[in-house]
Every structure is written in C-alpha cells, then in structure tokens.
Amino acid sequence: MERDGRSLEDGATISGDVVVVGAGPAGLAVAWSLAEQGTKVIVLEGGGLQPDAESSALHEGEIVGGVLPTTAGDRTSLTEITAAGFGGTTQLWAGHIQPLAERDLEPQPFHDVGGWPIGYDELKRWYDPASRFLHFGAGSSVEEARSRSGLPEPPDLGDGFGEALVLTRVYSFADEQRDAIVEHPNIDLVHHANVTQLRTDPSGAVVESAEVRTLDGTTWSATAPKVVLACGGIGNPRLMLASTDHHPAGIGNDHDLVGRYYTDHPKAFGWVLASSLDVTAWEFLNSSAAHDEQVDRGDGVMVTRTDHVYLRLADDALSERGWPWAQAECFFTPGAPTDRRAELAGIDLLGADAASMAVVVLTTEQPLDPDSRVTLGEDTDELGRRRPVVDWRVPDAHADTVADMARLLGVELGARGLGRLWDATDRLRIDLGTFDANRVIETIELDPPPAPDAALQWRTSYHQMCTTRMAEDPGEGVVDADCRVHGMDNLWVAGTSVFATGAGYVPTLTGVALALRLADHLRAAS
C-alpha cells in the first residue's frame, strides 16, 4: 500500500517489522525482498511517487572545495546529483549496470585504508538477483546478455584492454517498479515523509523510532525492531549526523567517520583520439535497431551508444602499476565537419586513415581521502534540518596518475595501429551540461593562449559513495561486513554509501546486490 505522510495525524506512530528510510533502488530492494518473505516493511520516502520541486529542494545543500559543481561552472546545486521521490537517483540514472571485478574488492596500494571486508564470491552471488530486480533480465554478465541478444561479438582489442562493455537499458526504473511496491500487501510506502532524526534508547545502541516531519507541518514517528537507512551517499550521513539525542557527534559516529571518504568516479576531460577505426564498421556497437528490439522485449540489452566506445585498461596493467580502476570513454564525432577533423588530425601520420575522431574522457576510481566528506552546515531546510555540506576532494597526486594512464592509453592504441592520442588537457574546457563531442572538435583551438591553470578538470559521474564505508574495524568504517552500523544493535545501511572503495564503474548494480544481501541477512537474523 502507499499513502501520503501528510495525511497521518500529528503525533501518530506507525509500526512494522522493519523501517526502511528511502525509496531509491537500494531501499526498495531491501523492502521488496523482505516483503516477499512475509516481513511487514514501512518505507519512508521524503519525496512523492513522482518527482516534485518542493521535495527536491529539501536536498539542496552547500558545495565547497572546488571539485563540484558538477556541470556548468555556475551550477552549485546538490539537486543536480541527488533526487527526491520514488526511485531516488534512478531518476538521474543512465541505466548502466556492470558488476565489479574481483580486484575491485582487494586492498589497493593507492588507498590508505583496507579493502572490502567481504569476499568477491559473496558479492557475486547477488548480482543476478540484482539484475532481475533492476529489470535487466536473468543475467548480470555482459556475456550472458550478449548470448541472449544474439548480437555479434564486439571487437577484441587484445591484451591491455579489459572488458569495457556495460549493459544499458533506457527505461524508468521507478515506473516499472512502482506497482510492484505500492501494491505489495507487506509494504507500507509512506511518501512525503521526511525523517528528521533517529531516536535511540538511553543506551544509544538501539534505534527506537524514526521521527518524521512533513511539509504540511505534521510530525509523527515510525517504529520497528530493525531500521535500514537507504537515503544515498549524502542523505545517509546527513541523517546520522543529525541524530544526536544520545550521540552528540551523530549516530554511529564514535570514530568521526560518518560522512568521510566521500568518493565519486572523477571524470577527466582533455584528450582527443585520431583513429584509424571506422566506428561505423562496429556493427555490435551500432546496433541501435537491435537495442530497441531488446528493450521492447524487456531483455534490456544494449552495449553502448552509437558514437560511444569504452576502452577499459586491463586489470593486470593497472595492478602492475599500482593504479586504480580506469576506463576511457571515446565519444566519436561523426557529426563534426570533415575538414575540421582533418585539420586536427593534421599530424598527417594517419592521413586519410584518420577515419574517425573522438573526444576521450578518462574515468577512474579515486584514492580515498578522509577529508573528502559530507558534514552538516548551519543553514536549515524547510523542515528545520541542517543542510549537508559536500566537500568532494580528489588527491592532487591522482592527476599525475591519470596523466600516466593517458600516456599508457596512447601507447596501447599506437601499438595496435588504432590511432594516436592527443593530450589537449591545456585547451579543452568542457561544460558537461551541454557536452557535445562534435561541437568540441569543431571549436577546439589548435594554438590557444597559455592557460593560467592547466590542471585537470574533474567532473562528477553522479556517484556518491563510501560515506558510511564498510569495514570490520570500527576505526576504518561506519558499518560492518553485514552493513550494520558499528556500535548499534538494530541499525543497518543500504546503498552505495557502504562501498568500502569507489571501485569500478557504475555502482547501481552493486548497491542493489548489497541491499538484497542485507535483506537476506535481516531475514536470517529474525
């Protein structure tokens, strides 16, 4: 069932077996999985069943530190990277899923803290259920999806490049999931219900209620023996830091770790590929008709956009160099004027063989930084809650690593006769909000005036991770391997905020896999 939180009486208390705070993909995965097994679940969602501006404004906050803003230089809104309402951040989601690799979970030299406290096999077994929950069909692996689709094999770029394909569905998760949730007899979805704080018993170890305030001014509470936070990488620490009745520094924050290690997959723009590849010959990558057919069938298979090719540096190559995960996204530019492409590829080394040109974006895992964090500011929202302050930091040394990665990419492409890479980091300035690779090629200056600051520009991948990271040691993380908040008896966290590291790309599938695993754990613990 679903109801509007504004319709509950002031001072009311509602009860269930489990309270889930947040109706994004992770929260809904926990709720649905538990409900299917007979557990009565209350889901509290601050927004509505459809997005609305008033609820969205409650996500607004302050951005400091200079890495965000996210797109155009004058945009500083957290509402650009988070979303209120049913479906949560899937409203902003490109519909990509990709499982992590085994290496992603291992301790890495570029992090000052340990790796994931769970083994890869433990995570992997939840990928297929997560894929089904996200309506991607039976299998989460590219190989299975390719097999189902009957699409041709993709080009094999040889050693040095790893699997770079992602599964994509262009669809609305919220629209497809809504009926299954709101009609579920064991789910009580209460929307427009914003949780202001979690109240604990005097020991501070047991959450007794989630306190709710609505934009109509009513206040009420929800209680259950178990509480799961699933408000996202910014919302989870925001609520934990605001829950101070028996925890002056915030719930679960005895080690001052809640909100720290804020991590994204920083994107660096600045390279151009003059390639001998005729991407129109990549039938597999241009199978938009096949894609539409797949979507219609509900199988959800598409590998990439027509003009968009992923090149992923192989895990072995990365491990050998002690580098984090990295992927090059090549935005080919079939629409750029031919003479302009010829001018830019005017190195003439490829000459007429420069069949195509791409703007290259390097997306990477970033080293964890405890000073990259979410805190609470002094400003408050319409409900009196302190707004979040996001200070996303990318360590300076990471820029050097990315420059080295670009060099390796240039070498690997050259060695295969696939093209030459041009480092244009001193002349490319990208506005993601209006990003058009063809336009970039059209306007890039060959001889720009010296840039006052040629430092790499980091851009967001719209991923917010690690702010309640998972670690066995309470001194290194906020939740344990079961996603239970250290020091708390009945509080768990779901979603990408529990990631121990940023790891590989596109976190939604892994976030949902961990949420389903958490539901299984909660069921077993009953």
Partner 1 sequence: MTHPIGRRRFLVATAAVGGVSAVAGCADDGTDDPAPDGSTDDGALPAGLAAIGGGYLEANPKLTEAELVEGLPAGVDGTAPPTLQLDQAAEAIAADFGADRVERVNGWWLSTTEARICALGVMRA
User: Looking at beta carbons only, is 114 or 155 nearer to partner 1?
Assistant: 155
User: Looking at beta carbons only, is 50 or 276 nearer to partner 1?
Assistant: 276
Q: How far is the CB of 428 from partner 1 (least distance, A)?
A: 11
Q: How far is the CB of 480 from partner 1 (least distance, A)?
A: 44
User: Looking at beta carbons only, is 206 or 399 nearer to partner 1?
Assistant: 399
C-alpha 102/C-alpha 12 separation (Å) is 47
User: Looking at beta carbons only, is 312 or 463 nearer to partner 1?
Assistant: 312
User: Looking at beta carbons only, is 410 or 504 nearer to partner 1?
Assistant: 410
C-alpha 141/C-alpha 224 separation (Å) is 37
Q: How far is the CB of 319 from partner 1 (least distance, A)?
A: 18
| Strand 41-44, strand 187-191: pairing | parallel
Amino acid 290 reads A
Interaction site with partner 1 (CB under 8 A): 153, 155-158, 276-278, 280-282, 345-353, 355, 406-407, 410-412, 414-418, 420-424, 426
Q: How far is the CB of 64 from partner 1 (least distance, A)?
A: 33
Q: At CB < 8 A and 24+ separation, what contacts does 333-338 make? A: 333/307, 333/357, 333/358, 333/359, 333/437, 333/438, 333/440, 333/441, 334/279, 334/280, 334/307, 334/438, 335/438, 336/437, 336/438, 336/441, 336/442, 337/442
Q: How far is the CB of 301 from partner 1 (least distance, A)?
A: 20
Nearest to 483 by CA among 522, 436, 523: 522
Q: How far is the CB of 440 from partner 1 (least distance, A)?
A: 15
C-alpha 493/C-alpha 500 separation (Å) is 13
User: Looking at beta carbons only, is 332 or 492 nearer to partner 1?
Assistant: 332
Q: How far is the CB of 155 from partner 1 (least distance, A)?
A: 4
Q: How far is CA 365 from CA 59, 225, 258, 380, 495, in A?
A: 26, 37, 21, 33, 18
Amino acid 163 reads E
User: Looking at beta carbons only, is 381 or 423 nearer to partner 1?
Assistant: 423
**Residue 31: CA atoms inside 13 Å, Cβ hemisphere, count?**
34
Residue position matching structure tokens 């997306």: 363
Q: How far is CA 126 from CA 115, 131, 230, 508, 512, in A?
A: 19, 9, 18, 13, 9
